[in-house]
Chain A
Amino acid sequence: MIVDKIKKREVQAVKNKKSNVDIPVGKWLKCEQCGEILYKEAVIKNLNICPNCGYYFRMHIDRRLELIIDEGTYERFNLDIETTNPLELEDYPKKLKTLREKTGLKEAVACGTGNINGEKIVICIMDSGFLMGSMGVVVGEKITYSIEQAIKQKLPLVIFSVSGGARMQEGIISLMQMAKTTSALTKLDEAGLLYISVLTDPTYGGVTASFASLGDIILAEPKAMIGFAGQRVIQQTIGESLPEGFQTAEFLLEHGFIDKIVERKDLKDTIYKLIMFHKGGEK
């Protein structure tokens, strides 16, 4: 069901003539919401938020880490793995290679440990710049490994999701990563450890329908688009237009599926406070 979300993004991309990947290279960029031409440095300094209208640009993993984790405390897990290309698609390995060079990322998620105001956590951060943050075996394995590390080290787990869903290029194996990550979360739950899921724009499909929706606490950034089925598929299925604000973080809050919408500038402190609220209850 990530299907239409990706298609929709394309439509938007054409409509808004925007780049989907974080903040485009070059000194200037145009805000997707207000159209203002912005000085890139000014936007980065402003937490990737448009200084003119408050639009949230998507964040590169490195910038999200800077925002959330205390400087110098992030230690990535030593887990360098690669897909076997289970569907034997000819152009898929090439595509991955190109993306790695272009984005400086190894895959659509980075995982490790780090501190939030001195509190050590296991952190996973997804990136929409890498095949739309889609989950194949590498993402599934890294998330699962992180959950296991949280259990082993008795640490809270925080996952920042941004994803179109299960990765098409790995077919059924991608689908199975939903069951894999979910199964691992049952063990984290049994261990009595805290899991905070943070939903960022966009979170869809098999990621929404697995670990992203299973946090003890679920936070979201304002106006993030979050859902299971993509809007185009829904529209095609029901043959009518969708209500205003459908599938926004605000819509999910109203319907009872997230705990709190948190502005980007307040995320670190909010997560810290939540961690502190859960302390002292360990068995």
Chain B
Amino acid sequence: MPSVKLSAWEIVEIARNPKRKTSLDYINEIFDDFMELHGDRNFKDDKAIVCGLARIENQNYTIIAEQKGRSTKENIERNFGMPNPESYRKAIRFMKQAEKFKRPVITFIDTKGAYPGIGAEERGQGEAIASSMFEMAKLKVPVISIVIGEGSSGGALAIGVANKVFMLENAVYSILSPEGYSSILWKDSSRYKEAAEKMKLTAKDLYDLKVIDKIIKEPQKNGEVDFEKLANNLKKEIISSINELKKLDDKNIVQNRYEKFRNMGEYIKL
């Protein structure tokens, strides 16, 4: 696949492919040990975001990951990877513990967006996303976010305020879906392919826009993604970036993240 130039829409289709590896696949492959822990201590355990503790050699990590289902049954359980507010509040709980116990945070982003439902609004979806970004921005430990599939809207960014943002070669990251975009901007949802091209949602576009820091290649073997190799490369990137970030003290790790987001988006002075 890397040898053929894919259209943005084709990449959207790859990112959404139900057979594409999910967060737990990466977590289990990359980390020596992973223990999932549950609940927001307030309302419930929302399964669209998985949280837990993990280790690579002597380094402990806090994991926060948006999780799509790998079967219909699992997808129903996980609300197709669309978090309710409880998911973000669970994430906040784990961020705070990561800081308390000085564990770097690794987040995996893969969602069509935060769930648009009555209950989600009743329980403050907007406030939950805002608070998740707020807590993340303050964290005194290194944070890496990895967009592995679909990173769509505030539901994705809620766990994306990181020191380093990686993105898989065929993942997408955008303000919303191309379908939604074309229907809002052009009042015509059938122009989604065109929208995908316009939106600058591919890893390369986002690297050029300085929204992400690194593109993780998806090496091929026999016409398929060589998952083992990919996960191993990602693991190396996580280890080396965390080692680099650990050199920064509490104040500078926060400042490093602050400056990254403070400078998001260029503008012209008049």
- Residues of chain A touching chain B, judged by Cβ–Cβ distance below 8 Å, are 1-3, 6-7, 80-84, 86-87, 89, 136-138, 140-141, 144, 166, 168-180, 182-187, 205-206, 208-214, 227-230, 233-234, 237-238, 242-243, 246-247, 251, 255-257
Contacts and interface: CB of A to CB of B under 8 A. Distances in A.
Interface string B171-188: 001111000110111000
Contacts of B127: 208-209, 213, 257
A243 B157 CA distance: 29
B134 A182 contact: yes
A184 B174 CA distance: 22
Contacts of B124: 213, 255-257
Interface stretch (B44-52, B197-205, B219-227): B197-205
Interface stretch (B22-30, B96-104, B231-239, B257-265): B257-265
B4 interface: no
B137 to A, nearest CB: 4
Given A86-B200, A172-B209, 7 more contacts: A3-B176, A84-B268, A177-B264, A179-B133, A179-B161, A229-B120, A237-B117
Q: What DSSP secondary structure best describes chain A's contact surface?
A: helix
A177 B211 CA distance: 11
A173 B201 CA distance: 11
B266 A176 contact: no
Contact of B267 (A82, A205, A251): A82
Contacts of B176: 1, 3, 168
A137 B265 contact: yes
Interface string B234-270: 0000000000000000000000011001101111111
State which size class the interface on B falls in.
35 or more
B161 A84 contact: no
B175 A166 contact: yes
A177 B130 CA distance: 12
B18 interface: no
Nearest to B139: A186
18 contacts: A1-B176, A3-B180, A80-B269, A81-B268, A166-B175, A168-B175, A171-B198, A176-B265, A178-B133, A179-B161, A183-B137, A210-B130, A213-B127, A213-B131, A228-B116, A229-B120, A234-B121, A247-B121
B258 to A, nearest CB: 5
A144 to B, nearest CB: 7
Contacts of B134: 182, 185-186, 214
